[in-house]
Structure 1
Amino acid sequence: MKCIVGLGNPGKKYEKTRHNVGFMVIDELADANNWNVTQEKFKSLYTVEHVQGEKVLLVKPQTYMNLSGEAIRAFADYYDIDLEDILVIYDDLDLPPGKIRLRQKGGHGGHNGIRNTIDQFGSKDFKRLRVGIGRPQGRMAVVDYVLGTFNEEEKPDVEDSIQQAVKACEAWMDQPFLEVMNVYNQS
């Protein structure tokens, strides 16, 4: 079973913010495949789907970003999912809007949702799909930036990165992750 988790914050207030691109990717992936991420368990919205004979779990933790790992851990324990079969999608300040990067493992890079996930599992060995949101200009605080919405100039690039992320997730459903990385880390 593969588990694809999009990180974000619940509620209308955060819906279109930069910090919620993980949710946006899950929503777009679900829409593209006519899936509904509406079941509730472990403080999350989720669905279990079947793709080419394998179960795929899509999860949107509703714990708020800083506690995302708690929900991911609960699903991993309940469904007995190996850490290597978990892909976490999240926003990245170090990538410009329009860019995505896939990694097999790594540190938290200052991202509290990833930090909490590492803490919950005691390991950095889970797959990541980073979606670029860029850095704030001038003296804007990072927290204000990530909780803000994309400006009109960023929106086309962000839409493109969300579509690329969806394609990468779909590719991982039936291809080795390294092959998916080789394709989608090129752009």
Structure 2
Amino acid sequence: MKYLIIGLGNIGPEYELTRHNIGFLTLDKLAEDQHATFEHLKLANKTEFKHKGRTIHLIKPTTYMNLSGKAVNYWMQELKVNKSNILVVTDDLALPYGNLRLRVKGSHAGHNGLRDIDAMTGGNDYARLKFGVGNDFHPGQQADYVLSNFTKDQFIDLPLKIEKACHMILSFCTQGAQRTMNEYND
């Protein structure tokens, strides 16, 4: 069985540790844990590894957040992965910082990366792992907030939250979405 895990983020060192890049940070940790190395390929940095009989492909789109759907659609077609075996790791302003929630489908809720994936793949019927980044910003400051770094206090336990997200990804691939939601959702 094949799985395609997409971490959303923006390329470039200025975005590396921002809230919007939590998808990239999570996939970096998962790849490191699995001794897998990303390489730059068409529209994404990509790697893969085997886990419990599954082939798990990780991509970090190099198209910038708002055009993520182009990379997702390309790799979904290239690898011939069913939409039910796709998981997008993304930041979520509606969840308190550090809360993790897996959903099998849902609206983009104003998230431009998810909006583009919906448009390019023909709908929102794919799983997403939402990583809460909180909403501690003034009206109209949403973009500045997600493109800013985590606070010092958040950095302290960020590795534990990312580790939990990695466990959820592996669980999604081996135990399925429902069991993963029951076991891990905050």
Give the TM-score, by structure 1 length.
Answer: 0.94
The answer to whether the Cα contact below 8 Å between 1:136 and 1:142 also exists between their aligned partners in 2 is: no
The secondary structure found in structure 2 opposite 1:29 is helix
The amino acid that maps onto 1:25 is T
Letter of the structure 2 residue corresponding to residue 99 of structure 1: N
Tell me if the contact between 1:97 and 1:158 (Cα under 8 Å) persists in the aligned partners. Answer: no
1:43–1:71 CA contact under 8 A, matched in 2:
yes
State the secondary structure of the residue aligned to 1:182: helix
**1:8-32 deviation per Cα after TM superposition (whole angstroms, max 9, x unaligned):** 0001010001100000000011111
Residue 13 of structure 2 aligns with an amino acid whose one-letter code is K
Pairwise CA distance, 1:67: 0.4
Distance 2:146 2:18 in 1: 7
CA 1:116–1:71: 2 relative to 1, 3 Å: same
1:92 aligns with 2:92: yes
Distance 2:175 2:121 in 1: 25
**2: CA distance, partners of 1:21 / 1:137:** 18
Provide the secondary structure at the position in 2 that maps to 1:102: strand
Counterpart-to-counterpart distance in 1, 2:165 and 2:17: 17
Show the counterpart of 2:132.
132
Amino acid at match of 1:20: N
Name stretches of at least 5 consecutive residues in structure 1 with no aligned partner.
none
- The Cα of 1:157 is off from its aligned counterpart by 4.1
Mapped to 2, the partners of 1:117 and 1:71 lie a distance apart of 9
Mapping 1:1-187, distance limit 5 Å: 1-37=2-38, 39-139=39-139, 141-185=141-185, 187=186
Deviation, structure 1 residue 163: 1.4
Is the 2:106–2:125 Cα contact (8 Å) retained in structure 1?
A: yes
Larger mean Cα displacement after TM superposition, 51-60 or 64-73: 51-60
SS of the residue corresponding to residue 174 of structure 2 reads coil
Instruction: Give the letter for the 2:25 counterpart.
Output: M
For the residue of structure 1 that corresponds to 2:81, the secondary structure is coil
Counterpart CA distance in 2 for 1:53 and 1:157 is: 31
Structure 1 letter corresponding to 2:153: E
Contact 1:48–1:57 (CA under 8 A) maintained in structure 2? yes
Aligned length: 185
Provide structure 2 residue ranges, at least 5 long, that are not aligned to the other structure. none
Cα distance, 1:161 vs structure 2 = 2.0
Asked if structure 1 preserves the Cα contact closer than 8 Å seen for 2:105 and 2:127, the reply is: yes
Report the TM-score when normalising by structure 2.
0.95
For residues 35-78 of structure 1, the C-alpha deviation after alignment (integer angstroms, 9 at most, x for no partner) is 112x2222100012222222110000010000001001000111
* 1:96-142 CA-partner distances (Å, limit 9, x unpaired): 11111000001101100000000001111000000010113345611
Q: Which moved more, 1:45-54 or 1:14-23?
A: 45-54
